[in-house]
Amino acid sequence: MAHPYLSQEQIEQFNKDGYIIIRNYYNEDEIGKLQSAVFSDDNLYSNAWDKKDASGTVSKVSLWQDLGDDFYAMFSRGKRLSNAVEQLLEEPVFHTTTKIMMKEPFVGGAWEWHQDYGYWATDNFHLYPQLVSCMIAINKATIENGCLQVLKGSHHIGRIDHGRTGDQKGADMTFVEEAMKHHELINVELEPGDTLFFHCNLLHKSNQNRSEHPRWAFIAAYCGESAKPFKENSLVYRPLEKVEDDAILNWTA
């Protein structure tokens, strides 16, 4: 590992709880530049998928796999995320997807209880749950605007069967309801620049945005080399070409 981004204590906490939050992982200048980019990017809306929750309320998500030399790639290709995930998984990683979640004021829908590995395993043919998602708060995430909720330590349960819930894939609620008896529910409230790393088997959800404030997040996901897709599908393995951390502020159009 070229640079130890995470402490041993943070790694141990991740293994125990299934997630860690690092406050101010991106500084004010970096997040300001990201905010300026996303809030003026019409392509995010035009390319976004509308995902209905169980009640029919919509959230928007713009998702891609290919990483070029654009500004967003400076985050996804950055060592600050990828090297940290390599510390957590203890192996080299590659990028799977980047997405920007757009939960709009008053109308932003919920994301039902699920594990990312609940559908990644079957959709993308990952044999092992060696995947981590990294959520960067673009603006403030609160209980009122539908912040992420996680069941602390629930990744130890293992993969739960998933089925259709609205336009989404949700975990079998029989198991979720039992898990809620044993695992503490945590509201992941974040300030801009705070970053959440979470395991692919961690049960998580978010409620509808009932506030006047949007809740936007940048999420890059990584997979360990040992869990590369074993069948061809929509997810194509591509080696990760990393960039240094200063690439964010040095990037120009």
Could you tell me if 248 and 160 are in contact, meaning their C-beta atoms sit under 8 angstroms apart? no
Q: What is the pLDDT confidence band of residue 1, given thresholds at 50, 70 and 90?
A: very low
Q: Where are the domains of the chain?
A: 9-224
Please write the tens of the pLDDT for every residue from 194-240: 999 999 999 999 988 888 998 999 999 999 999 999 998 878 899 99
Could you tell me if 195 and 136 are in contact, meaning their C-beta atoms sit under 8 angstroms apart? yes
pTM for the model: 0.93
Q: What is the pLDDT confidence band of residue 103, given thresholds at 50, 70 and 90?
A: confident
> Stretch 44-72: mean pLDDT, rounded?
79
Please write the tens of the pLDDT for every residue from 177-193: 999 999 999 999 999 99
Amino acid at 151: L
**Which pair of structure tokens corresponds to residue 89?**
């998984």
Three-class SS state of 85 = helix
Would the pLDDT of 136 be above 60?
A: yes
Looking at residue 127, the DSSP 8-state letter turns out to be: S
Report angle CA 156, 21, 177 to the nearest 5 degrees.
40
Residues 160 and 247: their CA atoms lie apart, in Å, by 39
The CATH number that domain 9-224 falls under is: 2.60.120.620
In sequence order, the 6+-apart residues with CB closer than 8 A to the CB of 42 are: none
